[in-house]
Every structure is written in structure tokens, then in C-alpha cells.
Amino acid sequence: MEKVKLLEVKNLKVYYNSIWGDYKSVDDVSFIAYEGEVLSIAGESGCGKSTLVDGILGLIKPPGYIPSGEVIFEGKDLLKLSSEELRKIRWTKIAYVPQGAMNSLNPVIKIEEQMIDSILDHTNISREEARKLAISRLKEVGLPVEVAEMYPHELSGGMKQRVIIATAIALKPKLVIADEPTTALDVVAQKGILQLLRSLKEDYGITVIVVSHDFAVHAQIADRIAIMYAGKIVEVGPIYDVFKNPLHPYTKGLISSIPVIGKSYIKGIPGLAPSPLNWPSGCRFHPRCPFASEKCRNVEPILKEFNSERYVACHLSR
């Protein structure tokens, strides 16, 4: 079956201005999310994942700015829309579960009221209709209806995250973007949230983009994965292929950093992630790469097709 593009990010740059110069946090990123897939975005802390998502959704505030790029969704460049037009698309068509969202629930307002207020902010339906919608979404994310009458402190972390997802999908968007949806949850709750996100695709055909620094999360949920390093995407491919045969040395390092039962050591990646204020020359991974050559230090590798489904930015791949 032919894949249909839902979201296409083209050469997106998101910089933060400072007295020391620009933090080039997202620096020429291109990727496609297809209808009905779970696309994972992986990479170490600070590589630009949340900035990328904020850039896509038009949420960059000064000193952040977007020097160039396009974000095509249903044929429109989201970066060219007014903030009111964008606000409408977020929620109705694209739902966002921001990093740490479950901690933003108001502790003194019942869950149901918070959900209703969010729904009414974005629709013209009556309060009673919004209430019915909130209850049905709570059920859809596997929560008992009693949760509607509870306060956030009465819920576990996993339940709070389900409430956030229930609110995000209230209007059945085409795309859900979840940033670090399982961080700070225990492993059982993590598994539940990942199954829930996967079910959005399987039960409702929603495209899901999951952002996480935790590679193990992606292994459980993704159809395809894009690996970010130092503000760029360095590898893209179907999750199984990337795990079985990672092409980029950074991806190899990430996979070898996943703890395995029975193994007493983890290989990991030597050295520290570089600063967006001063990215290394050539290949940005060269100071940490065991295969770095003179060419790597001077010439930046571009993301190139390896086969019809896989892309990699490394001079070693051809």
C-alpha cells in the first residue's frame, strides 16, 4: 500500500539568540510522517527534540526564532499561518502532549472540569456535550469514569498521563505528538502508556510522533525511527531494521547503551554531547566517533538514501 504523507518538515532551523551568539538547536532538519504510522524521534538529552516539536507547532517564543524551513501539513505550510489559524489546527488536527504535561494539571480543579475547559477553549459545543466527550475519552484511554470527579493528586503518574492523552485526543486529531510521554513513570505505567499511544494508531488511524531520549521506549512502539544528533537527523529507517543493523555510529552507540539483562556492562558513547552554540566542524559526531577520519573533521555528511526506506548521514555509508 502506498504511504501517504501527513506531515513534511523541510530544512527546518530553530535557533535561540543569545549574547554569545545563536544556539543552533535545530539545524536543517527534514523528515516525513506518513498517515497511520508511529514515528519515533530519538536522541540524547539536549540534541533538540523538544525544540523541533515546538518549531513544528509554532510554539517558539523569543529569543527563539525560525531562520528558515517549511512544515507542510495537509498541503499548508504551518509556519506561514497566523497564530489564530495555528491554534485551531493544534487540537482539531494536531494534538500535542508536551514534555512534563502531567505535572501541569491544576491541583485544585477536578479532572472533568479541566478537560471540559480545554475542550470548550477549542470548540463551540455546549458544556454538557463537552462533559460527555470528556467522559467518553476517559473511557477510551482505559480510565474508570470515576476519575472524572477526582483531583490530580488522587491519581497515579500513569493515570495523569492518560488524562493528558484523553484531553489531547478529545477532538480526534489526525496527528498526536507526544514529547517524552513516559518519563518519570514506573515501567508498568510506561508500558501502559506506550500501548495506549500505539492503540491510537491501531484503533483510530491516528498518526503518532513519539519523542524520547530513551531508546527502549522506541523499541516498544515505533514503526519507523529518526535519530537526532546535535540538531540534525543522522539516521531514519524502519525500527526493526535500525535495531538489527544500525548504520550510523551514533545509532550503534545508542543501541549499545540499552541495558541488557545478564550483561554486567554497558558500552555507551564516549565523550559529551556538543553545545548548540558551537557545533563541531564537519560531521558533528566526529569528536566522539571511533571511525572519524580527516574528511569527517572537515566535510559535513548529508542525509542520503541508503535504500528505499533507510537514510543515513555518514561518510562511511554509501
Ligand X SMILES: Nc1ncnc2c1ncn2[C@@H]1O[C@H](COP(=O)(O)OP(=O)(O)OP(=O)(O)O)[C@@H](O)[C@H]1O
By CB under 6 A, name the binding residues for ligand SF4: 248-249, 283, 285-286, 289, 291-292, 296, 301, 314-316
Minimum distance of ligand SF4 from residue 270's CB (angstroms): 12
Residue 273, C-alpha cell as written in the block = 554531547
From Mg ion, ligand X, ligand SF4, none, interface partner of 58 (C-beta below 5 to 8 A by class): none
Residues 6+ positions from 216 with CB-CB distance below 8 Å: 258
From ligand SF4, ligand X, Mg ion, none, interface partner of 191 (C-beta below 5 to 8 A by class): none
Rounded Cα–Cα distance for residues 12 and 70 (Å)? 6
Nearer to ligand SF4, 105 or 226 (CB): 226
State the pairing for strand pair 38-42/21-34. unpaired
Q: If binding is defined by CB under 5 A, does position 50 make contact with Mg ion?
A: yes
Residue given cell 539568540 in the structure block: 17
Q: If binding is defined by CB under 6 A, does position 46 make contact with ligand X?
A: yes
Stretch that binds ligand X, among 49-57, 100-108, 192-200, 255-263 (CB under 6 A): 49-57
Nearer to Mg ion, 49 or 286 (CB): 49
DSSP 1-57: ----EEEEEEEEEEEEEETTEEEEEEEEEEEEEETT-EEEEE--TTSSHHHHHHHHT
Nearer to Mg ion, 60 or 147 (CB): 60
Q: If binding is defined by CB under 6 A, does position 25 make contact with ligand X?
A: yes
CA atoms within 13 Å, Cβ hemisphere of 59: 14
Using alpha carbons, list the distances in angstroms from residue 119 to 39, 96, 172, 202: 26, 14, 12, 24
- Contact set with Mg ion (CB under 5 A): 49-50, 99
- Contact set with ligand X (CB under 6 A): 16, 23, 25, 43, 45-51, 64, 99, 213, 276
